[in-house]
Structure 1
Amino acid sequence: MRYSLRLFITLLLVTLALPMGLSAQQKTYTVVIDAGHGGHDAGACAFGRKEKDINLAVALLTRKYIEQAHPEIKVYMTRSTDVFVGLQQRANFANKKKADLFISIHTNSASSAKASGTETYVLGLRRANDNLEVSKRENQVILLEKDYKETYEGFDPNSTESYIIFEFMQNVHLATSINVASEVQKSFVKLGRGNRSVRQGPFLVIRETAMPSILIELGFITNKAESDYLASERGRKELAQGIADGFSRYYEKYVRATSSQQRKQQKVTSDEESASQQSSATTSSEGEEYYRIQIASSRQPLETSDPYFRNAKDVQREQRGKLYLYTAEQCSTLSEARQAQQRLAKSYPDCYIVRYRKGVRDKEIY
């Protein structure tokens, strides 16, 4: 596929662009809630009901409950009325807001009237046919967008081949997304809703977001009992409260609880990096050159202790213009660097060698 390499490189850079949690650069935690479908895109329909209406009602209530529980958090909606918003526009909106979390709300459907239960997706591809079919159905909304072939670079939502690219994507936010999704599913279980678990799926709307993202399927509009529940005021309030409660548990456990620890570690990390840079400068001033492996870059700084770097040793961060560059494993010879590159390529496919002389980046070797 002609677009695969360019998409891979672009997405690798984009997904590294924002750090998770509370950072020095972004004091206010931000959530973007996405009500799926809208306007002339009704989504799934059954029993005289439209998915777009259910999604919007639950999304608006979810925003209300999160804001009530956490007034310090900013919550935005990709749409708050019955309007059509393209998948790329939704993702772009979240990226522009520099959101820490993206929650996309949908309603499921199936050919069988017996299908029931809630499920929450994170980005990825598992070769279960039902996961892929749900993804194809939700991605078909791009066919309603003008110039969708250009916007999504040839992506065909009905072609299984188009989903192969997801096999190669590196999503540094996967662990965080799974944590959020797991807490949301726990809420649904407490409500007595059928638990279809946390799953991975190749959804375009969360593929393009540069932050942890989840996609929720509230239930099956094609199941009469579940459709009645989804259409009821009680059902919508319970589901929205469940999403908000799940988010709150995640927020308290993984964001608030770790933010103070991260601040303490920042000074330690900064001191260690300074000492490492001084050591490198001393070595190079003696006339020696050395090599390191660049494994990532980002527009905002990531801590070298970030989980994304767990498969690399001696990770260092340096700033070059508006980009932050991350290198690992200092080597004294090019031969050693080649071996290190081969090892690291298993976890960081686009990594390459950087030569340093006199403590300064001198040459990039691919």
Structure 2
Amino acid sequence: MFYQPGTTDHNLPFDPFKACVVPRPIGWISTVSATNQSNSEPTANLAPYSEFQNLTFDPPYVMFSANQTPENIRKDSVVNAESTGIFCWQLATYPLREAVNVTSEQVPYGVDEFERAKLERTYSQLLSPKCPVPNFRGVPMVKDSPVRFECEYHSTIRLPGNPPMGTVDIVIGKVIGVYIADEVINTQTGKVDVAKTEPIARCGYYDYAVVRECFEMKMPGAEIMRAGLEGSSKKNKEANVKNGEEKGAATEEHHWSGHGAPSTFGADVDAYYDSWNSAAQRNGNSRQGSTQINGNAAGTNGVVNGEGSNGASGEAHWSGRGAPSTFGATG
């Protein structure tokens, strides 16, 4: 069969798209409101998102994607993350599946899903809100989840969506703290035993999967590529040092991809990029339709504002064509 989404009918009783991209990990996201709804702690929010993924590992970033509500209101998780600048993620597991389902229900802003799902909490240790949050003691996390991340909000990318869901918010956060239960770590291999964590994943429709068995395949080729698959920042740094020594000095390379946003490689990102029809230039002003890193862009292709350090940049999002992107808490 073949169909064009939104143009031709697939002639099936259920839309197959989400059942084709499977299994999808679940971003069980917890946040707090910028203002408390009572005289005690700020109101907690907990919700699962099946459009979730890690983006890179050195440093680690994650994202979750949230549609607007049918009333064209942005999801509580998005509002809270942007307002406070912090959020947490916890692994959705088979033993916690019913609680995950309870927290998926759309309820009015200010309802505490931890209480509704009868979940015991623990609290983040490293996160500090960027706005006043009365009686803040940390972002609550699901204590019984075997893996949890503390995240600092980085940016939001907004995509257009068809009614009634309106726009789609892709929220990106930097992971600054990782909790792993000792009992799910294999002491002989030094690896997280995924089968012991029993993660659940979305499979489209109302179907889920649970992971209880894994198999191993090692990618052939360069060791540095395998280090990337392992998500080893230590090996990544060692390979970078070795590469620099072999070349006599650390090299810096800037690359223009041709179509779309410019890509940046190397130790810093202080380059300015020219338009599609011209070569990239450094330390200058961008021309027609170009973008800049660490600067302001002229033309219509969007803006990239960030500061680079040690090969990582504070680059937000180059919007190119389409809907405008949202940067920072003010949106």
Shorter-chain TM-score: what band? under 0.3
Question: Structure with the greater relative contact order (CA < 8 A, sep ≥ 6): 1 or 2?
Answer: 1
Q: Which has the higher strand share?
A: 2
- TM-score, structure 2 as length reference: 0.26
TM-score scaled by length of structure 1: 0.25
Tell me which protein shows more helix as a share of its residues.
Answer: 1
